[in-house]
């Protein structure tokens, strides 16, 4: 009996609501605004993404190459977003220095670094042959 009431409550909470979906999208946009306002590295990544996009148009890369470029840029943006979320949470939950808090932040920053390295490698594979053929 208790289980049935519990399941009914869960089902009520899971009902589709346009208002709830709109609120969740609003929260997501707010989060991106926080990211853009507070994360200086994100601006650097946007700068390099704009250079990459411009280079893609100038060098007329193929549709498949665009897909790889977009995925590489998206990977960097996503890891930076998660890194920022982790940093905000750790600053809240561990306001004083703790070695595990530092390690967590460093590992998250390492994920951003790895994604940036992957993006650079993808860019080099796509752009270097085209640049060399122009020279």
Catalytic site positions: 80
Contact 55, 127 (CB under 8 A): yes
Contact 50, 91 (CB under 8 A): no
Q: Which of 49, 120, 25, 33 is nearest to 81 (CA)?
A: 33
Q: Which of 43, 41, 65 is nearest to 53 (CA)?
A: 65
Helix ranges (DSSP H) in 1-135: 2-13, 18-38, 40-58, 63-93, 99-134
DSSP helix/strand/coil, 116: helix
């Amino acid at each position: 009996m208790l289980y049935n009431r519990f399941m009914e409550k869960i089902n009520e909470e899971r009902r589709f609501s346009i208002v709830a979906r709109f609120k969740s999208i609003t929260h997501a946009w707010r989060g991106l605004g926080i990211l853009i306002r507070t994360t200086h590295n994100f601006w650097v990544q946007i700068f390099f993404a704009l250079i990459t996009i411009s280079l893609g148009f100038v060098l007329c890369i193929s549709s498949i190459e665009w897909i790889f470029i977009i995925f590489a840029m998206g990977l960097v943006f996503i890891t930076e977003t998660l890194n920022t979320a982790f940093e905000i949470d750790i600053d809240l939950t561990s306001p004083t220095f703790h070695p595990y808090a530092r390690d967590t932040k460093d590992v998250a920053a390492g994920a951003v670094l790895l994604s940036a390295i992957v993006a650079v490698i993808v860019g080099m594979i796509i752009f270097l042959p085209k640049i060399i053929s122009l020279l």
